[in-house]
Each structure stands twice: as C-alpha cells, then as structure tokens.
Amino acid sequence: MTETPLKPLSDYHAQSVESVLASLDVDQSMGLSDAQAADRLAQFGANVLREGRRVSLLSLLLRQLRSPIVMLLVLASLFSLFTHEIAEFIAIIAVLIINTSIGFFTEYQALSSMQTLKELSTVRCRTRRNAQITELDAKDLVPGDILILDAGDVLPADARVLMSASLSCDESALTGESLPVSKSSEPVLKDAVIGDRRCMVFNGCGVSRGTGEAVVTGTGMNTELGHIARLVDDAEAEHSPLEKQLAALSQHLIWLTLGLTALLASVGILAGQDTQMMLKSAVALAVAAIPEGLPIVATLALARGMIRMARRNALIEKLPSVETLGATTVILTDKTGTMTENHMRVSSIRTSQGEYIFDSENATISVQGKNAGLETDKTLKCLIRTAALCNNASYQPEDDTGTGDPMEVALLEVAEAVSLSRNSLVDACPEVHEHAFDSNLRMMATIHSDDSGYFVAVKGAPGEVLKCVTHVMDLTVSGEKMVLDDAGRKFWFTVSEDYGRLGLRLLAVAGKRVDEEDADPYGDLTLYGIVALSDPPRRDVAGAISDAKSAGIRIVMATGDHLTTARFVADSVGLSDADSLSMRGSELPRFDSLSQAQSSELRRVDVFSRVDPEQKLRLIELYQKSGDVVAMTGDGVNDAPALKKADIGIAMGIRGTQVAKEASDMILKDDAFPSIVHAIREGRIIYSNIRRFTVYLLSCNLSEILIVAVAVLLGLPLPLLPLQILFLNLVTDVFPAFALGTIAPKQDVLSRSPRPKGRSILGRQDWLTISISGIILALTTLTALLVSIHWLELEGDSITTVCFLTLALSQLWHLFSMHNWRDGWFDTAVMKNNYVWLAVLLCLLLLALAMLQPQLSAVLHLVELPPVAWLLIVALSIQPWLIREFTATAKRLIRHSVQ
C-alpha cells in the first residue's frame, strides 16, 4: 500500500523532536520500513545533486569564433580564396588558427564545481530501517531515515538531531564557523541562521566528536548543500573589465574597417579604376585595420603576469583575471585563515597570581615582561597540567600540528612549551574515567589515579565552571586554596567578560581530589584560572591592508563567525576602527526590495558576521551594481556561489575546499592576504602595459590604413600588399609589443586609485597619440612611395618593397617613442629594457630573412633594391622617432620656462 506523500517543512529546527518524527511519520526505534523508503525514494528522488550546466569543448571552440575581428578575418579569407590569392588565404587562416587556439586553450577548464559538489554526497552511512541498523549508499537515503552518527562520519543529508552524546560537527566549509559546533536535540528559534541551528546537521559536514542519532529532513537538492549547488549553477560569471573593453574596442574597429573599405571600393570603382584592383585594395585595407597581433600579445602579456604572480603564491586559472585584479575596488574577505592563521592558540592565561602571556612563535610564557618559571608559579603549572590531562587531542610539536578539537590542541601546545607533554602526564597519572563534554553542561571532566588517590580535571565554559567552584587556588597566601566568596566570584566573571569583549574564546580550568573514582566530578571544585584562546591575526595582514587602502581599495569582512570575534580581528588588523559599522546576517534587509538609503548604508558596513552563502552572493551583486569591481576570498563550499559571481574569485590553496577552488579565478598557495595585494600590484602593471602596447599596435595599424587609402584615392600604385601587411602585423609588430608588456613602472602603482570600471582601455590622450603617430608613419611611407616613383623611377615589386621596408623600420623605431614626454631621449624605461632590444634584433633578423630567403621573398613580393633605395629607407624610417623626440624636448623646455 502506497503511503500518503510527505509535505516537507521548512522549520524542522524550530520543532520539537516529537513533532519532527510525527511530521515525517517515523518511529525512532523502528526507522522506516522498506516499503516506506521505496515510496519516498519515488517521491523525492535519489539523494544526489543535479548535474550543473557544462560547457562542451565544441561550444568552447565556437565561442572563440564569435569575436567581430574573427568574423571579419573569415570574410577576408573567403574573398582571398574567391580571387585566387591562395597565399593570402593561407596566411589569414593561419592567423585565425593562432588566435582561436590561444583563446581555446587558455579558457579550457576540465573540472566542474557541480561535479565536485556531487562527489561530496557519494558516501555510505548507517541507518535504522525495519528496526535494524544497516549500511546504505547515501544516494538511497530518503526523508524520515534515522541516521546513526559517530565521530569521523561525513554527513550524507540534512537531518534533525534526535539524540546527542557530546555530538559536535565541523561546519566550517558550510558556515565559516572556525570551531566545531556542539549539537543537541533542543529546538531553536524559527529565524535562526544556519550557523545557530544547533539541532540540525548538514550534508557534506563532518562529525568531529561524539555520537548521536538524527532523522533525515532533506536530501539531494533539498539540502543546504543543494541550495548552494543551485546558487553556483545559477550564478553568472562576470566578464573581466579587460574583456569588455577589448570587445568594445573591436566593435569600433570593425565599423571603421567596414566603412573605410566600402568607401574606398565605391570611390575607386566610380572613378573608373580597375574593379579587381579596388577589391584587392579593399582587402588590404581590411587586413590593415584589424590588429591581428593584439589578442596574441595581450594573451602573452597576461600569461607572463600569471607566471610572475605564481612566484608570489597567487595561481591564476583564468587569464583575464590577471588584469582584473588591477581594477579591483572592493575586496570581500573571509576571516579565518585569510586574516588569521587558521590555528587556534592560547593568547593569555589568567590565574590568581596575574596574567601570563603565551608567545607561540618562541614557545615562551611571560608575566609582566619576564619569563615565567613553573617552579615558582605553581598555580600556572597546576592549570597547564590539568588542561593537558582533561584533553582528547594530540599535538606534534616538531611540525606544530595536531588532531582533535582546535582548542584542546592549543592547550597541548602550551603544555609542550613548558615540558609537560600529555603522554608523560598520563603515564604518571593514568585516566580511569571520562565524563565527555556535555553541550548542556558545557563542561567535561576526566578522572585520574595517582599515589594519593584520584584527581578530577575539569575544563569548560567559564560561566558554567564558576557555578561549580567553591575555592580558588592562590599560592600567594598560606595554603594552596582559598574560599571563593561573592567578591571573588564577581572578579572572575569580570575577567571573563573583559576577555569576551576582545573576541577571545575562553576555557575555565578547575580540579579537585576525591577518594572514589565515581565521585561527582562537578561539585566543590577549585578554580585554577581562565585560559583565553584566539585564532590570531597574521602578522603581515595589517601592512597589506594599509597598502590596499592606500591604493584606494575597500576591504570588507564577511564571515560566518560571531560578530564579537569578527570585529576583534578586523580592529586588530586595521580593517575597521571604533567608528566602523558592523552588521549581523540576521539584520540584513531583503535585497530584492532595497531602498537607495539602505543600499548606501550597506555599502558603508565594514564587517558582516553570521552571513550565509546567499547573503554573500547578494552583497557582491550590491557592490557590482554600484560600479565596483569586486574580489571575493573564500575557502568553503558555502563560498562557491559568491566566488563564481565576483569579478575575481580568490580561493585558499591550503585549507580551501575543492569546490571553492574550482569556482574561483585565483588560488592563494599560502592562504595569505598579502599575496592578494601583490597580485593587485601586478595586475595594475599589466593593465598599464596593455594600454602602452595597444597604443603602439593601433598607431601601426592606422598608418597602414592611411597608406593604402591615400595611395588608392590618389591613383598611385598599391604600396602594400595584404600579405605584407599581415607579415607586419603578426611578425614585426608582435615582438616589440610584447616587449612593451614587460616594462616596469617608474612609480609604485599602488599609490594610485583604481581606474573607474566604465573607463575605456584607451583615453582621449591615447587616441590623440595614435592619430598623430599613425599620420606621421603614413606620411613617411607615402614619401618613400613618391620618391621611389618619381626620383628613383622604380616599378612594380620594387616600389612595394621600398614601402614595406620603410614602414617596417619606421614601426620598429617607433617602439622607442612609447614613453612619457617628460623622459629624456635615452633615459627611458623602454631604452633600458633588455626585452625591447631583443625584440628589435629579432625583427631585424626576420626582415633580413624575408629579403634573403627566396621562397619567403617570393610570397611577399620582395625584390633586391639598389643602394640608393636602402639609403632612402633608412633616412625616412628614422624620421617619426626624431620628430617625436624633438617635440617632447620642446615641450619639456616650454614647461620648464613657464615654471
């Protein structure tokens, strides 16, 4: 008989255990029957995450062909084939293959974030069915299944806790909570955020301690992990600013090319010139207008930047992201592991004798600036000994690593620093019984035997331990302990509150001697002191944040951790101050109905705490709509949607989940925030150099357009053939342009504010430089054309050879004009760059090869020239550089005289 379909609830966390079991129609002691499980599997489907949208290799290849420049080259190649210019057809096709291959291989990504999310669910689990405990594949779980949980398990679904025996789960990948979360069966408030739903366990998280039972409430895409998977699938990856700017530039060039070629062909044909000659000239003009070398040089410059960033621990997975970093205006950063060490450590210990500071780097304990000695500070020794005994973790001092609860590992680190290793302590004082941590009592205790009887070691939340304390150890008075009166109790509560306001995690340590092993562990305790722990800020973060702020970049913290802890870290590293705004995730308004005032207010907040994955995603959209270029750092599954949506997603390489890495554009090998700032500096340098070589390439292309257009309109012989122009654009222009991409900046680029998001890659001054340089280069070559015809009386290929070589050398010397007018003739970064000189030498060799190699010279229609023609070529080719330098010198003199 088929059961009535279930109607899932959205507030299992707010319901009592009895209500949850009733709504899911299951008995905890029996579990589901096979028939019920089969019906529910049919209703809800398998417990798997749906396949995300995949980009096929074919679609990735076709994407490279959608560029307007590529389409124009395709038309030019087809026309060359139609007019039987086979060499030109092959050359243009070669250009298409080069450009398409570079784009295809740099964008290709073999892995999928959604596939990894699916793999998180492919585990086995223990369940109770038909009153029997059995092991199932996670995909066969259904709502209502009873899960049997134990330490080390990976949770296969979302579930409501029914019973907890010191159960705690590591939810850092899902919520950002840096410590394991204790679980209980007690319901919580209906509007509690995910990180506060202590009666729920979540798909993909791990059981770090204890045992328990839970009833499955959601499977597959109906889990929190499924919700994140849906957000990753739906999040639209942003195109980089450089991609958008180059696309816009290409559109302008396409319309310019089509207009000029149509005008040239029409005017020539109407003037009675040979139709085929006009069409051939139009193809030459089209090839001249297309900067075929620009995508190649841009890709090579970005690839070089990627290598340089990798040396600074920043691995770039998508080439345009190299430049996007330079445009970043807002960094939305996580706290744990990025701002902090992601290593819980003891910062201070408070006993009745004073406050002790623990220096983890030097493994020393000091009081009032002096090293503390355990022989004289016996209270401290007793506290450390007790904390090490009441402990289930392990610590390896040789590599500063440990396993178990992070706070317990931190206590063992202190013990090792004062030569009180847990192993030696347990050998001398064996553990005979343990009262495991109880989430209701918020304490744990261990019983140990020695020659004097039994010793009880207790640690837990200060508020709870202080309720059980009757004495305090104080070796400054006679005896070893004194009664804790109301004033003393108030003092210790004040100590706890003061530490708490600093965002520190606290443990009170107490103990007592008993005669029986089974004595009450929590009565009549003696307080030894309070231990303050923290995940300390990285030492180099404050300087990096200062550099980022100087560069005009806003740093905003968005974490799943508690507000007090987040604010303490933010203040410690200089991200925020007393006047900064902070906000909890529960206080965020609905993003789909934000007023202008609310939007402005949110953009002023420096610290967001207890935020969930969707809220991070909406915050990024908020900044992007305001015109910001957003970088997002993250490490957990919960960060994946935001990492994908950000203009540049930055994942942690050490502690980051595979899902986060695959959704990101950049991976930090050292998880260090300063690496982001180094990468931003590199990105700005790259953008500056891209502008520089774009100006160079377009001025060269403009000169070719003017040369062909003017010659045809004046009825002169065609000075440049399409294949010669391709040779210039792809051979003699590419190497100098790439060399310009290696120029180091004269001033620190981080001293400038980020460029506006909407600014074009080329400004008004850049276009003026392109226009003037293009005209001068064109006039030089047209002069060579006229002199060759009317003075040297050359004909045919000899004329085109003179024009080709004059323009090639002019463009080569023009390379040295790519500097600021304030620089002297030879005191420029271009002149001092070894790659520039190497490019010049290589291009000279390639030109010599084109002239001397018979097959190549025949294809390019290059012929031998008389010596006088070579004198003409050299004399004219150097003129554009001389004009530029004399003009710059005059400008410097005028500016100096005015001052």
Question: Hey, which residues are catalytic here?
Answer: 334
Q: Which long-range contacts (CB under 8 A, 24 or more apart) does 730-734 make?
A: 730/95, 730/98, 730/292, 730/293, 730/296, 731/843, 731/846, 732/808, 732/811, 732/812, 732/843, 732/846, 732/847, 733/293, 733/696, 733/697, 733/700, 733/811, 734/293, 734/296, 734/297
| H or E stretch at 740 | helix 734-740
- Name the one residue in this structure whose structure tokens are 């290929």: 797
State how far the Cα of 324 lies from the Cα of 630, in Å rounded to an integer.
9
Instruction: Give Cα separations from 297 to 96, 301, 740 (angstroms).
Output: 15, 6, 10
Residue-wise burial string across 399-437, b where 16 or more C-beta atoms lie within 10 A, e elsewhere: eeebebbbbbbbbbbbbbbbebebeebeeebebeeebeb
Token output for 521 = 């562990």
Question: What does the CA dihedral 54, 60, 63, 69 come to, rounded to 10 degrees?
Answer: 160
DSSP codes joined into one string, 106-167: HH-----HHHHHHHTT--EEEEEETTEEEEEEGGG--TTPEEEEETTPBP-SEEEEEEEEEE
Query: How much of the chain is helix, strand and coil, in % rounded to 5?
Result: 50, 20, 30
Which ranges in 502-639 belong to alpha helices (H)?
541-550, 563-572, 596-602, 613-625
Closest CA to 67 of 95, 100, 89: 100
Q: Considering just the CA atoms, what is the radius of gyration of the chain in Å?
A: 36
* Cβ(828)–Cβ(816) below 8 Å: yes
Token pair belonging to 470: 């009757």
**In angstroms, rounded to a whole number, what is the distance separating the alpha carbons of residues 684 and 752?**
10
What distance in Å separates the CA atoms of residue 41 and residue 24, rounded to the nearest whole number?
A: 14
Helix H or strand E segment including 221: none
Cα gap 565→582, rounded to integer Å: 12
Selection from 385, 377, 239 nearest residue 321 by Cα: 239
3-state secondary structure 805-849: HHHHHHHHHHHHHCCCCCCCCCCCCCCCCHHHHHHHHHHHHHHHH
CB 503 within 8 A of CB 534: yes
Report CA-CA distances (Å) from 499 to 383, 494, 565, 573, 793: 18, 9, 11, 18, 93
CA atoms within 13 A on the CB side of 394: 5
At 91, is the secondary structure helix, strand, or coil? helix
Question: Nearest 5°: phi and psi at 479?
Answer: 85, 180
Strands 181-182 and 158-170: antiparallel
In a 13 Å sphere around the CA of 676, the CA atoms on its Cβ side amount to 37
The dihedral built from the CA positions of residue 471, 474, 475 and 478, taken in this order, carries a sign that is negative
